[in-house]
A and B are shown apart, each in its own frame.
Chain A
Amino acid sequence: MATAAARQSSSREIAQRARAVPGALLWLIVGLGPILALLAAIPASEGMADALMPSLRRASLFMTSIALAFSVAVFTVTVSALAARSLRRRSGRASALLYWAPLAMIAVPPYVHANAWMSAGAGIDALLGRTAATGLSAPDAVAAFWVQSMAFLPAAYGFVLLGMARMDPMLVDAGRIHADDWRVFRRIELPMMAPSVIVGGGLAAILSLTDFSTPALFQLPSYAMDVFVTYGSGADSGAVFLLALPMVLTGIAIIAALLGRIETGTRLPDTPPYTAIACNTPPAWFRSLETVALFVLAMQSAIPVVALLQATGSPAVFAQTVAAASRDIVSSMGSAGISALFAILLGLLLFRHLENRFVMLLCLLPLAMPGTLTGIGLIHLWNNDATSAVYGGPAMPVLASLARFAPIGILLFHAHHRTISRDLIDAAQMFRGNGAATWWWIYLPLYWRAAAGVFLIVFALSLGELAATILIAPPGQGALSIRIFNLLHYGSTAAVASLSLLMLLLAMAAAIVLLALFNTRGAARLAGRTA
């Protein structure tokens, strides 16, 4: 009897491992392929000596980049946590929309934030009759920090919302019986939110570390810039990868440090529907901080939107620019749509295996790669006679987007998976195995909202991808991001604003669809609010 049970258990384990093979193979090619291709290029590198040469200058640049990344991470999660907490106390559909709206800004690339904030700074300077008084139009580490913070705030904010969702409202209310809001926040809410908040901060830090353009715009030399310049000076890709390794390894270290946090940080409380008691009033100083954070969050969305509307000029200009770029828009939307579908597939194939920390590390590793290196890795991987049908074709932008953004999709699936009771799945599998009926009647109803979320986020991020796309864009197939950067150089402010506005509208439409899919009650539930 025991032998039969052991045999059954063993065969189930083998079946489970067999089911993991397609996902593992797909990830080996799509996610890890570019990294492995770059690793393979290292032995043939001729610039290894320069790349490995220890240098005080590089060490100093690296420390600058780390300091910037750390500051951006701390600032974005602090603002996110305070603003989200303030919004959470408010009820009604409008506040629910406001609660989720900043997520739409995830599709707005840093250069749009930079332009918008520089315009705003210049406007304030003009009003005050001073020159560069705000510091946003001056070469300034503060300006670089501010623009990066605004650009990466939505990413941190998303994880803070997950953290909010993780809070058990019954515990919070129990605390409120004995203590004021500040103490409850510090002793109960923050520890429950902390894992997700740390993950959000880690993501913002990785994004900051690999961003070369924003610091360069404000004349702040960064380690990412050193890597880029070295690549431009003729260094081969193996040497450049070696040079970028400290950045990549730091990203990996951040990811590794966050692994434990991710596992608990993405889990929602398994509590029955519960109506929280009315909030106590937090101390005045704490409320002031929340108000400031709320203001920053509102400005994070409002300044770019207003600047873009102002620069666009008129609906006619908008329509004309969009019509002229229609081929690039359609092509980018197509690539982004297919990327998002594949991100869902990868999420479905891999999310269960993320319980294993090593697997999770392998899944999140591509997040630490700068986009340019991902592009080079993709060329190495796919540009050969055997795969010539793929390289140079429309699949390449899809592969680039997946290599960069699929990890976020997989992580979101994993997060959603942690919210679902396994009893439902076990019960279904007991009677119907893992067949189509189980997928149709159990998995689909349980996971379709996560799939919608992954689709929309990967779609939005893919739409604005430039660093890797420029290196692998198929001949004859335009891309919206490439057109925007070309227009930016050409000085067509109205056209740049129109296309950036279009990207923002598409992302906002995506966020509204997401909200509608979750519906107010579902959204409120996920946010840990009372519905």
Chain B
Amino acid sequence: MRIKLLALLSAAVLVTACSQDDPSKGSVVVYVSIDQTIAEPVLETFARETGIEVKPVYDVEAAKTSGLAKRLAEEADTPRADVFWSGEPVQTEVMAQAGLFSPYLPDKLRPGPQPGPENRWVAFGGRARVFIINTARLNKADWPTSIYDLVADGRDTSRAVIAYPLFGTSATHASALFTTLGPERAGAFFDRIVAHKVRIVDGNSVVRDLVADGTADFGLTDTDDACSAFERKPDEVGVVFPDQAADGMGTLVIPNSVALVKGGPNPQAGKRLIDHLLSEAVADQLADAGWFRIDGTRVFSPETCGLPAKVKPMAVDYAALARTMGDVIRELRDRIVR
């Protein structure tokens, strides 16, 4: 009887397991590490316009953008995804260097998107690292203007907050600082972050919430997080780009990236999705949704986030960042996670 029961239930699972759609009908599998709320309408538009069924898998901030990137790496021998759409470029370049992507560029690439090394991925649109400030807690004269304000003597830095520089865009920023400042100065900067008791929290959205609620005075986060708080509480929240002075290093601009997975099951549909994602229409759609804020040095809808119309970006080489990112994370892990 138990064996019959086992057989019956196993058959049920096999039936459901094998009831996947036939890929030949026209479908594309995309691993998406940007917010589902933002990506879903874009993918639905593509499916409606092309008739190609889109099968997305979404990442979550709790997985620190490493969830789907790691999944792609673990699946390298038998790829399941066609397209990887990420909210940042360095993890994508890391995977490109590991040979996980095929070179692909659309026939007509509009101005704006920038191909990565060997055309294995394309950067498009962008967010930037910004300070979010609680205006009830800090007078405008006291607003931070440089990342060094996080470790400035004379400030109550225990009321400043950053996300763990070990995950996601915070790790990308930390890695960029190590490349720009050099390992010694950057390492010393993070030692001072710890010594000054700057709060290090679980993610950029937590930074946003703590500052917006007044639990912290100011924090370092991404434009999408900061601007969403600004839209909800324009009288209580301020947003500024750090290090914009003439001799400042600029702020890190973080473009989205998209890549064609090597050996994916539906390469043609994958290429069509990449063409769509790099289109002007999608750029507008993502800018309207508040996801894209930056295009080169231009700032989209700056008035909706209290930002200037132009930004001074940090000069970074993503290929170099990708090569050093793992070492930087391990270095910071040893300094911070203790």
Spell out A's residues near B (CB within 8 Å): 19, 22-23, 26, 50, 57, 60-61, 111, 122, 131-132, 137, 139, 213, 216-217, 219, 221, 225-226, 228-234, 237, 338, 341-342, 345, 348-349, 376, 379-380, 383-385, 388-395, 398, 434-436, 439, 466, 470-476, 478, 482-483, 485-492
Q: Which chain A residues border B24 with CB–CB below 8 Å?
A: none
Q: A383-B80, A390-B17, A395-B13 are in contact. Are A436 and B70 (CB under 8 A)?
A: no
Q: What is the CA–CA distance of A232 and B35 in the complex, to the nearest angstrom?
A: 19
Q: A234 contacts which chain B residues (CB < 8 A)? A: 94, 325-326, 329
Most chain A CB within 10 A, of B13, B64, B214, is at B13
A475 contacts across to B, CB distance below 8 A: 29-30, 55-57, 80-81
Given contacts A217-B206, A342-B13, A486-B58, contact A392 B74 (CB under 8 A): no
A/B interface sample: 28 pairs, CB < 8 A: A19-B3, A22-B2, A22-B6, A61-B338, A228-B64, A229-B333, A231-B70, A232-B66, A232-B167, A232-B171, A233-B326, A234-B94, A341-B9, A345-B5, A379-B74, A379-B75, A383-B78, A383-B80, A392-B20, A393-B19, A434-B1, A439-B2, A470-B67, A470-B68, A486-B37, A487-B37, A489-B60, A491-B232
Asked if A492 contacts B37 (CB within 8 A), the reply is: yes
* Additional A-B contact list (5), CB under 8 Å, known A233-B325, A389-B20, A486-B60: A383-B78, A391-B80, A474-B20, A474-B57, A476-B27
Q: Label chain A's interface by main secondary structure.
A: helix
Given the complex of chains A and B, what is the CA–CA distance between A474 and B56 in angstroms? 9
**Smallest CB gap from B4: residue in A:** A436
Task: Tell me whether A345 and B78 are in contact in the complex, defined as CB-CB below 8 angstroms, given that A131-B215, A234-B94, A491-B205 are known contacts.
Answer: no
From 317 to 338 in chain B, residues with beta carbon under 8 angstroms from any chain A beta carbon are: 325-326, 329-330, 333-334, 336-338
> Is B283 in the interface zone, CB < 8 Å from A?
no
Q: Which residues of A contact B139 (CB under 8 A)?
A: none
A466 touches B74 (CB 8 A): no
From A60, A471, A489, contact of B338 by CB (8 A): A60
Q: How far apart sit A380 and B76, CA to CA, in the bound complex (Å)?
A: 11
Q: Report the minimum CB–CB distance from B324 to chain A (whole Å).
A: 11
Assess whether B141 is interfacial by the CB under 8 Å rule. no
Closest residue of chain B to A389 (Cβ to Cβ) is B18
Cα A348 to Cα B9 in complex, Å, equals: 13
- Cβ of B208 within 8 Å of any chain A Cβ, yes or no, is yes
B-chain residues with CB within 8 Å of residue A435 when the two chains form the complex:
1
Tell me whether B60 and A216 are in contact (CB under 8 A). Answer: no
Asked if B295 is an interface residue, CB under 8 A from chain A, the answer is no
Question: B241 → chain A, closest Cβ, in Å?
Answer: 21
| Chain A CB within 8 A of B149 CB | no
Q: Are B229 and A491 in contact (CB under 8 A)?
A: yes
B interface residues, how many (CB within 8 angstroms): 74
Nearest B-chain residue to A125, judged by Cβ: B215
CB distance from B35 to the nearest CB of A (A): 5
Min CB gap B288→A, angstroms: 15
Task: Answer yes or no: B88 CB below 8 A from chain A CBs.
Answer: no
In the bound complex, do residue B205 and residue A348 qualify as a contact, i.e. CB atoms below 8 Å apart?
A: no
**Among candidates A60, A219, A348, A380, residue contacting B199 with C-beta atoms closer than 8 Å:** A219
Once the chains bind, are B329 and A22 in contact (CB under 8 Å)? no
Residues of A within 8 A of B16 (CB): 338, 393-395
* Cα(A456)–Cα(B310), bound, Å: 56
| B228 on the A face (CB < 8 A) | yes
Q: Looking at the complex, which one of A230, A342, A492 makes contact with B333 (CB distance below 8 Å)?
A: A230
Using A473-B57, A486-B35 as known contacts, say yes or no to A233 and B333 having CB atoms under 8 A apart: yes
User: Nearest Cβ in chain A — how far from B60, in angstroms?
Assistant: 4
Judge whether B62 is part of the interface by a CB distance below 8 angstroms: yes
Chain B residues with CB under 8 Å of A389's CB are 14, 17-18, 20
A132-B215 contact in complex given A217-B206, A466-B62, C-beta closer than 8 Å: yes
A476→B20 CA distance, assembly (Å): 10
Chain B residues contacting A230 (CB-CB under 8 Å) are 330, 333
Tell me the bound Cα distance from A111 to B13 in angstroms: 31
* Residue ID in chain A nearest B69 by CB atoms: A232
Q: Give bound CA distance, A241 to B3, whole Å.
A: 34
B191 interfacial by beta-carbon distance below 8 Å = no
Instruction: Determine if A491 and B225 form an interchain contact, defined as CB atoms under 8 angstroms apart.
Output: yes
Given the known interface contacts A217-B206, A491-B228, the answer about A19 and B80 at a Cβ–Cβ threshold of 8 Å is no
**Complex: A417 Cα to B201 Cα, angstroms:** 46
Contact yes or no, B18 A392, CB < 8 A: no
Q: How far is the CA of A383 from the CA of B72 in the complex (A)?
A: 11
